[in-house]
Structure 1
Amino acid sequence: MKEHYHLKETIVSIHADDASHVEAAKEAIGFHRSLLENYIRRDPYFQVTLEPHSCMEEAPEVARRMVDASNTMGLGPMSAVAGTIASLAVEAMVEAGASFALVDNGGDIAYITDRQIVVGIYAGESAVKNVGFVLEPVDRVVGICTSSGTVGPSISFGMADAAVVFSENVSLADSAATALSNATDTGKEAVEKAFKVLDRIEGISGALVVQGEYIGMWGNIPDLRRASVDYDCITKG
């Protein structure tokens, strides 16, 4: 089953086999959003800075994960918010008994799966269309996160149509995708150079960049195959 869930700025698609697992995800999103909102009231700079930041000692887990990931990539904490919320939601689904669970938070995806699934790549007006990643079964929560300089409302200083990062740390995948998108200019050589921002970053297994007609790949990524990418299935506001 699939449910579209909207809570303030958080707009997600929740995929599960059981309604109770969907409810677990929704409860987790509400809980961790509330903790984060309360924390930001005490530390407003946390929400607006685009540079590395530090946490107060009593910061909630959601804020700590965001800071750890974003500091690794040299960015502000909010670069990891979507992936972190998605990861916490899937973790709650697993605690509720799920062996298949996927939360897509605007292109930042956390999942665990007991079956092969295909996740499509949406790169806006790029010539690269109807391509998807074949994701094999995995028994732990992992992430596939996407950022773009040409698609969606997120802040980006680059020209990537899609910058995708894979990691077992979903928060890190989110922040790294932002950094990769920021580093992407136009043209084949620019795509190749963009991956330098991922050098020596532990915990990232692979990445892909789509820019115009070009696709660049780095590290280990899942197999690609032709797939029908339905715009109406994309999680968006």
Structure 2
Amino acid sequence: MFENRKIYRVCHQKQGLVAFNVTVKETNLNIQADSDLTEQATRAILAHRQYIENHITRFPRFADSLTPLPDPGIVPKIISEMTMAAKTAGVGPMAAVAGAVAQSVGRDLLQWSSNVLVENGGDIFIKSNTQTIFTIYAGSSPLSMKTGIKVARRPTSFAMCTSSGSVGHSKSFGKADAVSVLADCCALADAAATSLCNKIQTPKDIERAIAIGKSMAGVQGIVIISGKQIGLWGALELVKL
């Protein structure tokens, strides 16, 4: 998977930005910005990981629940965003952790760079002054790395998150090769992608999963790849790579 991830990250390189990787414990981020912000990113990762680790120490269910949890009250922003995303998508809060970390670090880095892209295991937070084309890695599907998602320039940050039942080590109860979700909130996009991926056992499930995704508040676009079949909905455009 490491080699596949390297290929995937090269395909996401935006012209004119500096790319660098930052690893802290289990967190490995590929970041693109106007300059090398490794030191700032490392501090941000440590801070947001600490928020999550402290919350799990106090509330162990946060780490392993497969269903939404109640409103946690006054907590760090990353915890509340994960909790709200999980509630919208109908999954446990840790289904949103990769997207939430990418988003939290990305927002912090906007202090030093007007363009920021943070990728965390296929979950991407982005603030860019240009349009963006995302490459879809979909395992053994013949559509893998041949299909891209074009998103027009946006004035604010947004997210594109991908979940797979056939690629990677993340827990999944589905068999989709790739489910990508577009949203303003990266935690929501991550949780929604996980939830919808869980619902795909065969290509016949694509239409139903998209209908469910459309009903999730905040979800703006969906792409689902299962074998040779692809489903598309929302504010995005498929392009051939």
Normalising by structure 1, we get a TM-score of 0.89
Secondary structure of residue in 1 paired with 2:108: helix
Counterpart selection for 1:27 from 36, 43, 67: 43
Equivalent residue, structure 2, for 1:72: 88
CA distance in 2, matches of 1:116, 1:198: 24
Cα gap change, 1:215/1:38 in structure 2, threshold over 3 Å: closer, same or farther? same
Q: CA deviation at 1:190?
A: 1.6
2:223 is paired with a residue whose SS is strand
Corresponding residue for residue 8 of structure 2: none
Structure 1 Cα separation of the partners of residues 172 and 141 of structure 2: 17
Write the letter of the residue equivalent to 2:132: I
The answer to whether structure 1 residue 99 and structure 2 residue 129 are counterparts is no
Within the alignment, does 1:17 sit opposite 2:34 as a pair?
yes
Shift of 1:55: 4.5
| 1:5 corresponds to 2:22 | yes
Instruction: State the distance in 1 between where 2:63 and 2:98 align.
Output: 13
Counterpart in 2 of 1:224? Answer: 238
Query: Residue type of the partner of 2:122?
Result: G
Distance of 2:126 and 2:48 partners within structure 1: 18
Q: What count of residue pairs does the alignment treat as equivalent? A: 223
SS of residue matched to 2:110: helix
Note if contact 1:24-1:89 (Cα within 8 Å) is conserved in structure 2.
no
The equivalent residue for 1:52 is: 68
Structure 1 residue runs of 5 or longer lacking an equivalent are 228-237
- Asked if 1:111 is matched to 2:129, the reply is no
Query: 80, 83, 89: which is aligned to 2:99?
Result: 83
The Cα shift of 1:219 comes to 2.2
Unaligned runs of 5+ residues in structure 2 are 1-17
Q: Distance in 1 between matches of 2:91 and 2:140?
A: 27
- Report the counterpart of residue 126 of structure 1 in structure 2: 141
Decide whether the 8 Å contact of 1:120 with 1:133 is kept in 2.
Answer: yes
- TM-score w.r.t. length of structure 2: 0.88
Which residue matches 1:143?
159
Task: Kindly provide the CA deviation profile for residues 25-63 of structure 1, in whole angstroms up to 9, marking residues without a partner as x.
Answer: 332111110111111111111000101112433422111
Q: Is the 8 A contact 2:161 2:181 kept in 1?
A: yes
Other structure's SS at 1:151 match: coil
Q: Indicate whether 1:157 and 2:159 are aligned.
A: no
Quote the Cα distance in structure 1 between the aligned partners of 2:178 and 2:72.
34
Q: How does 1:185-224 map to 2 (within 5 A)?
A: 185-187=201-203, 189-221=204-236, 223-224=237-238
Call closer, same or farther: CA 1:218–1:136 in 2, change over 3 Å. closer
- Cα distance in 2 for partners of 1:131, 1:104 equals 18
> SS of the counterpart of 1:104?
strand
Check the 8 A contact 2:106/2:126 in 1, yes or no.
yes
Check conservation: 1:122, 1:162, Cα contact below 8 A.
yes
Could you tell me how far apart the structure 1 residues matched to 2:208 and 2:201 are?
Answer: 9
- SS in structure 2 at match of 1:126: coil
Contact 2:151 2:235 in 1 (8 A): no
Taking the aligned partners of 1:137 and 1:27, their CA distance within structure 2 comes to 29
Q: Percent identity?
A: 37
Does the 8 Å contact 1:183/1:197 carry over to 2?
no
CA contact 2:176–2:200 (8 Å) conserved in 1: yes
